[in-house]
């Protein structure tokens, strides 16, 4: 099986605060992994480091993507290589058109792969198709990026971007937070749609409920900046029942 | 040696040496006023950040040549295609003013709708009162030889915008141009003014526009200043606004070495409405100073103002927004905002809202911000595959779009947007110099 993401002994922090303390993780193509853990355990930090946020400093360890050193690449290069981060808090950018961003993103990737740019007609057709499956009104294409979107609309917009960009590795940071049950089901269906033998998906989540709809192959528990337990989907149910204290106690014991 | 002192002997000789005509008495009245004040200096509070030394040097040279009668008053050089571009891009009835001289032949051939009259100021001075409310407007009136007078009759709403193309590319001349706009009761007019120069060497333009809006009338005015980087300009717009009239002024400053705009809106009738919007983009060593003043002399009346600036390089900009609510002007609703994007740590903005309120029942607000591009938004765009240059360009354009969206004249939108996008690209390219 082809390894997509290989994180080894990753130490990282922001400013003087160290957050990740020797994290190891291997995600193969075709797999869905869930990373769970209490607040402050380092889940979002891991996602931001993989996407290349400059505020986070890597102190030790390595991150390889399809065998290449990911940490050497700029955020935009990572994106064009096929890394996608679904933001926990998608940014509102009034004045930048949603359709423009989507098209520019798709074309940046296509140029990188040596493909012709997508034409306007083809782009609109594709975007409308994907929006229909996500239950998004095409009017959202004409709005500013996430401008005035509700929490659920923002998350759908992230999934739309993912669907258009067809990444090799998708990291979805708390994509389930702030969603009502209907929105959760739609977003989950959007994620399931993208499950593919060539694609790796990492779900970063605090709660188990997303995993009722997107069934993970592996579940990891992150605590104090490292993975303390790994298992199959039953681990998520155990966590739901016993809470994170149970893991911490198990680790300390 | 630099100085803002205008040589009084040269000034007097120049004024007296101008060809006599209908403007003679206006000129001598204004000359008396200007002789007392001279150019503003750093001692004037309103001119604290903007020095007119360069303008004074150019003016003294020009006054000397006027005094010796060695300046021609004929427009000589043909305009280039680049200079004429706005007239090709914006659908309007264009009038060309080249180095301060109106193209009278072309004006004569212009077919204007019934109820609209455009004449030369020197040939049509009946009941003409030239505004001389400041040293620079007095300097303008004292040396005025040409200008435009536009009258719109009662109840005439002009559909097609009027266009003024102001091109200054003669080094030997300081341009003094005046436009007088008079709108009758319930009249409506839209004007697009494009001010250009050619980079032939330092040049100076001192322009004045005065507006009289009668009851229920409406003017939308767009000024797009795209001077060459060696051009100095002072530009004053004074509007008197009567009952239920609406005045909208959109001000775009993209070019120039030193630019000073004074926009004065005087509300004299209840129910009036004033909308001021401006965008200034400065890089390199550019200096752009916008002073606006809204006088709420009576109420109720409304004024909205938003100015935005984008600064890079070692540029310096000034925003001063005065709102004065006179005693008894109850029901005044005045708001004002100035937002600035500083893209270089060597650029400087001085922003100052000034509210003076002498009435009781008013609603006034103001706000000023200075900031950088949002790093979170930059990262978001880059995480989608856009390179830093494009991400910065998009966010800068988005910042400017707020003002572009306020543009009242649809016919000019595409052209202004094109110019804006070009200017944003050149401005962002300046940051590493």
DSSP secondary structure string, B6-61?
--HHHHHHHHHHSPPSTTHHHHHHHHHHHHHH-S--TTSGGGSS---HHHHHHHHH
Name the more confident of B79 and B32: B32
Residue A51 in contact with partner chain B when CB distance is under 8 A: yes
Residue-range definition of the domain harbouring residue B55: 8-428
**Residue-level pLDDT at B2:** 61
Residue-range definition of the domain harbouring residue A227: 3-252
Alpha-carbon distances, residue A226 vs A47, A67, A85, B95, B392 (angstroms):
13, 22, 20, 73, 36
Please indicate, yes or no, if residue B125 is contained in any of the structural domains.
yes
**Residue-level pLDDT at B69:** 76
Of A76, A87, A145, the CB nearest to B385: A76
Reply yes or no on whether the pLDDT at B152 is more than 60: yes
Reply yes or no on whether the pLDDT at B1 is more than 50: no
Reply yes or no on whether the pLDDT at B60 is more than 50: yes
The alpha carbon of residue A105 is apart from the nearest alpha carbon of chain B, in Å, by: 5
What count of residues does chain A have?
253
Which SS3 state, helix, strand or coil, does residue A235 take?
A: helix
pLDDT tens per residue, range A88-105: 999 999 999 999 999 999
The alpha carbon of residue B431 is apart from the nearest alpha carbon of chain A, in Å, by: 21
Q: Are strands B101-102 and B93-98 parallel, antiparallel or unpaired?
A: antiparallel
DSSP state, B157? B
Please indicate, yes or no, if residue B1 is contained in any of the structural domains.
no
Q: Side by side, which strands form the sheet with A83-86?
A: A83-86, A169-173, A200-205, A32-36, A218-223, A226-231
Closest CA to B239 of B272, B206, B271: B272
Please indicate, yes or no, if residue B112 is contained in any of the structural domains.
yes
- As a whole number of Å, the end-to-end CA separation of chain A is 35
Is B182:B151 a contact under the CB 8 Å cutoff? yes
CA distance A191 to A204: 13
Looking at chain B, the whole-number percentage of residues with pLDDT higher than 90 is 90
Using alpha carbons only, how large is chain A's radius of gyration in Å? 18
Cβ burial B209-231 (10 Å sphere, 16+ → b, else e): bbbbbbbbbbbbbbbbbbbbebb
pLDDT tens per residue, range B182-216: 999 999 999 999 999 988 889 999 999 999 999 99
Q: What's the burial of A75, exposed, middle or buried (CB within 10 Å: 0-12/13-18/19+)?
A: buried
Q: Which residues pair with A221 in a beta bridge?
A: A36, A229
Closest CA to B384 of A105, A107, A249: A105
Unique residue bearing structure tokens 């052209």: B415
Give the count of beta carbons closer than 10 Å to the beta carbon of residue A31. Answer: 20
Reply yes or no on whether the pLDDT at A246 is more than 80: no
Reply yes or no on whether the pLDDT at B431 is more than 60: no
Q: How confident is the model at residue A237 (pLDDT cuts 50, 70, 90)?
A: confident
- Please report, for the domain that includes residue A98, its CATH number: 3.40.50.300
**Residue-level pLDDT at B192:** 98
Alpha-carbon distances, residue A185 vs A2, A84, A149, A169 (angstroms):
30, 21, 18, 22
Total domains, chain B:
1
Using alpha carbons only, how large is chain B's radius of gyration in Å? 21
The alpha carbon of residue B402 is apart from the nearest alpha carbon of chain A, in Å, by: 8
| Tokens found for residue A242 | 């016993």
Alpha-carbon distances, residue B178 vs B107, B112, B266 (angstroms):
16, 20, 19
Strand ranges in chain A using DSSP code E only, listed in sequence order: 3-14, 17-28, 32-36, 56-65, 68-69, 83-86, 93-97, 144-145, 169-173, 200-205, 218-223, 226-231
Q: How confident is the model at residue A178 (pLDDT cuts 50, 70, 90)?
A: confident
**Residue-level pLDDT at A2:** 86
Q: What is A75-121 written as a DSSP string?
A: HHHHHHHTEEEE-SSPPPEEEEEHHHHHHHHHHHHHHHTTPPPPPHH
Residue A134: which residues within 8 A CB-CB, separation 6 or more? A156, A159, A160, A163, A186, A187, A190
Of A76, A79, A95, the CB nearest to B398: A95
Closest CA to A170 of A49, A25, A51: A51
Residue A250 in contact with partner chain B when CB distance is under 8 A: no
CA distance B40 to B29: 19
CA distance B218 to B249: 11
Residue A105 to residue B398, Cβ atoms within 8 A? no
Reply yes or no on whether the pLDDT at B224 is more than 90: yes
Looking at chain B, the whole-number percentage of residues with pLDDT higher than 70 is 97
Residue A75 to residue B382, Cβ atoms within 8 A? yes
For residue B374, list chain A residues with Cβ-Cβ distance below 8 A: 91
> Helices (DSSP H) in B272-412: which residue ranges?
375-382, 388-404
Residue A90 to residue B382, Cβ atoms within 8 A? no
Is B72:B101 a contact under the CB 8 Å cutoff? no
> What residue in A sits closest to B380 (Cα-Cα)?
A91
Residue B382 to residue A94, Cβ atoms within 8 A? no
Of B386, B397, B399, the CB nearest to A105: B386
Q: Indicate the average pLDDT of chain B.
A: 94
CA distance A107 to B53: 51
Reply yes or no on whether the pLDDT at B73 is more than 60: no
CA distance A56 to B61: 60
Q: Quick one: which H or E segment has residue B338?
A: strand B332-342
**Residue-level pLDDT at A1:** 66
**Residue-level pLDDT at A76:** 97
**Residue-level pLDDT at B429:** 87
Across residues B391-414, what is the average pLDDT?
Answer: 96
Q: Quick one: which H or E segment has residue A189?
A: helix A181-193
Closest CA to B160 of B121, B118, B211: B118
Total domains, chain A:
1
CA distance A247 to B161: 73
CA distance B303 to B327: 17
Please indicate, yes or no, if residue B385 is contained in any of the structural domains.
yes
Closest CA to B221 of B164, B304, B153: B164
Q: How confident is the model at residue A219 (pLDDT cuts 50, 70, 90)?
A: very high
Q: How confident is the model at residue A177 (pLDDT cuts 50, 70, 90)?
A: confident
Q: Mapped to the 3 state alphabet, what secondary structure does B250-262 carry?
A: EEEECCCCEEEEE
pLDDT tens per residue, range B234-257: 999 999 999 999 999 999 999 999
Long-range (24+ apart) CB contacts under 8 A made by B369-373 are B369/B338, B369/B339, B369/B340, B370/B339, B370/B340, B370/B342, B371/B339, B371/B340, B371/B341, B371/B342, B372/B341, B372/B342, B372/B343, B373/B341, B373/B343
For residue B380, list chain A residues with Cβ-Cβ distance below 8 A: 87, 90-91, 93, 145
Is B206:B176 a contact under the CB 8 Å cutoff? yes
The alpha carbon of residue B406 is apart from the nearest alpha carbon of chain A, in Å, by: 13
**Residue-level pLDDT at B77:** 66
Q: Give 3-state DSSP helix, strand, coil % of chain B, rounded to 5.
A: 25, 40, 35
Residue B210: which residues within 8 A CB-CB, separation 6 or more? B130, B131, B178, B179, B180, B181, B237, B238, B239
**Residue-level pLDDT at B432:** 44
Q: How confident is the model at residue A244 (pLDDT cuts 50, 70, 90)?
A: confident
Residue A104 to residue B386, Cβ atoms within 8 A? yes
Asked, as a colleague might, if the bond just before B381 is cis with ω within 30 of 0, I would say no
**Residue-level pLDDT at A250:** 62
Give the count of beta carbons closer than 10 Å to the beta carbon of residue B100. Answer: 25
Please give the ipTM for the structure prediction.
0.96
**Residue-level pLDDT at B71:** 59
Give the count of beta carbons closer than 10 Å to the beta carbon of residue B365. Answer: 12
């Amino acid at each position: 099986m082809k390894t997509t993401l290989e994180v080894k002994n990753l130490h990282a922090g922001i400013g003087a605060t160290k957050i990740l303390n020797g994290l190891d993780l291997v995600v193969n193509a075709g797999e869905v992994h869930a990373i769970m853990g209490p607040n402050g355990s380092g889940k979002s930090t891991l996602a931001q480091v993989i996407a290349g946020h400059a505020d986070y400093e890597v102190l030790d360890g390595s991150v390889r993507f399809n065998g290449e050193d990911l940490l050497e690449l700029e955020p935009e290069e990572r994106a064009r290589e096929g890394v996608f981060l679904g933001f926990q808090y998608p940014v509102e950018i009034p004045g930048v058109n949603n359709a423009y961003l989507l098209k520019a993103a798709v074309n940046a990737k296509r140029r990188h792969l040596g493909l012709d740019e997508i034409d306007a007609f083809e782009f609109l057709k594709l975007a409308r198709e994907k929006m229909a499956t996500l239950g998004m009104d095409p009017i959202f294409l004409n709005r500013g990026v996430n401008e005035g979107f509700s929490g659920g609309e923002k998350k759908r917009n992230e999934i739309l971007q993912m669907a258009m960009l067809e990444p090799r590795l998708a990291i979805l940071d708390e994509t389930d937070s702030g969603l009502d049950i209907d929105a959760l089901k739609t977003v989950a269906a959007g994620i399931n749609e993208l499950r593919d033998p060539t694609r790796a998906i990492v779900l970063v989540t605090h709660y188990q409920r997303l995993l009722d709809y997107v069934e993970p192959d592996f579940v990891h528990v992150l605590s104090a900046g490292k993975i303390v337990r790994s298992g199959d989907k039953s681990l998520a149910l155990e966590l739901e029942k016993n809470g994170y204290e149970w893991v911490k106690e198990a680790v300390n014991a | 040696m630099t100085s803002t002192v205008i040589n009084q002997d040269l000034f007097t000789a120049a004024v007296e040496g101008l060809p006599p005509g209908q403007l003679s008495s206006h000129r001598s009245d204004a000359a008396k006023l200007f002789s007392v004040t001279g150019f503003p200096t750093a001692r004037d509070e309103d001119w604290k950040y903007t020095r007119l030394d360069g303008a004074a040097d150019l003016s003294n040279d020009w006054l000397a040549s006027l005094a010796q009668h060695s300046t021609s008053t004929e427009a000589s050089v043909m305009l280039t295609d680049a200079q004429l571009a706005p007239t090709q891009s914006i659908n309007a009835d264009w009038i060309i003013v080249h180095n301060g001289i109106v193209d009278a032949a072309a004006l004569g051939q212009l077919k204007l709708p019934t109820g609209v009259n455009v004449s030369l100021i020197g040939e049509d001075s009946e009941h003409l009162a030239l505004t001389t409310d400041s040293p620079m407007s007095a300097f303008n009136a004292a040396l005025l030889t040409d200008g435009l007078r536009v009258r719109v009759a009662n109840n005439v709403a002009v559909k097609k915008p009027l266009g003024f193309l102001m091109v200054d590319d003669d080094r030997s001349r300081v341009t003094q141009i005046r436009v007088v706009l008079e709108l009758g009761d319930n009249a409506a007019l839209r004007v697009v003014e494009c001010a250009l120069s050619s980079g032939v060497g330092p040049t100076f333009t001192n322009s004045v526009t005065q507006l009289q809006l009668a009851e229920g009338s409406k003017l939308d005015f767009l000024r797009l200043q795209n001077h060459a980087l060696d051009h100095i300009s002072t530009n004053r717009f004074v509007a008197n606004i009567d009952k239920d009239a609406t005045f909208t002024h959109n001000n775009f400053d993209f070019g120039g070495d030193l630019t000073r705009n004074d926009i004065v809106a005087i509300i004299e009738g209840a129910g009036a409405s004033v909308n001021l919007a401006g965008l200034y983009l400065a890089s390199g060593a550019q200096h752009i100073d916008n002073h606006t003043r809204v006088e709420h002399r009576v109420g109720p009346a409304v004024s909205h103002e938003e100015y935005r600036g984008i600064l890079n390089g070692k540029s310096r900009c000034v925003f001063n927004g005065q709102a004065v609510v006179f005693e008894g002007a109850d029901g005044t609703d005045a708001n004002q905002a100035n937002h600035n994007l500083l893209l270089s740590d060597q650029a400087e903005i001085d922003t100052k809202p000034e509210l003076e309120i002498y009435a009781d029942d008013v609603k006034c607000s103001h706000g000023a911000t200075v900031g950088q591009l949002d790093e979170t938004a930059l990262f978001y765009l880059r995480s989608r595959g856009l390179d830093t240059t494009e991400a910065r360009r998009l966010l800068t354009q988005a910042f400017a779009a707020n003002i572009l969206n306020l543009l009242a004249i649809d016919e000019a939108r595409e052209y202004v947007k094109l110019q804006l996008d070009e200017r944003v690209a050149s401005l962002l390219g300046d940051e590493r110099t």
